Amino acid sequence: MGKKKVIKQTQEEVLKETEEVESKIQKVGAKSASSAPRQIRKGVIYISSTYNNTILTLTDTNGNTLTWASSGKIGFKGTKKGTPYAAAKAAEIISQAIEKFRIEEIAVKIKGIGSGRESALRALAGQGANIISVEDLTPVPHNGCKRKKPRRV
């Protein structure tokens, strides 16, 4: 098979990459909440976490989408979209939108099995969002699929 090459990033490359992500966060945050902010008292954040991406959607209590953010929208590509770091950065954008819309109370609904679930929730709490409830909506199989019929010869 041959030897595997491990590519290590230098400190300068890591700093450059984080600066690019931070600049994209500021651009995306400015775009998402640029519509006229209106006073909403309660909101709901849906966190959809898969192995490949984490999507956060901010809605009002009726379910009307106010803004959304995802790891891919920020600028992460490939397998980096599914990382907890990318989910936390997407949560920072949503928390900026919460401040713009002046939402006081947040209910969080999490769906999926990816690695970004926990970190997105922790990032929201760390940014100072007033989280009143956390609910897990991940679908759970109760008996699985129907089995295949035996072959008749």
Position 60 pLDDT exceeds 80:
yes
Q: How much of the chain exceeds pLDDT 70, in percent?
A: 84
Distance CA 82, CA 146 (A): 31
Residues 6+ apart with CB under 8 A from 82: 50, 51, 52, 53, 54, 71, 114, 115, 116
Q: Where are the domains of the chain?
A: 37-136
Please, are residues 49 and 116 in contact by the beta-carbon 8 Å criterion?
Answer: yes
Q: Which CATH number fits domain 37-136: 1.10.10.10, 3.40.50.2300, 2.30.22.10, 3.30.420.80?
A: 3.30.420.80
Distance CA 44, CA 66 (A): 10
Range 13-30 average pLDDT: 72
Q: What is the per-residue pLDDT for 104? A: 92
Range 44-62 average pLDDT: 95
Q: What is the per-residue pLDDT for 135? A: 96
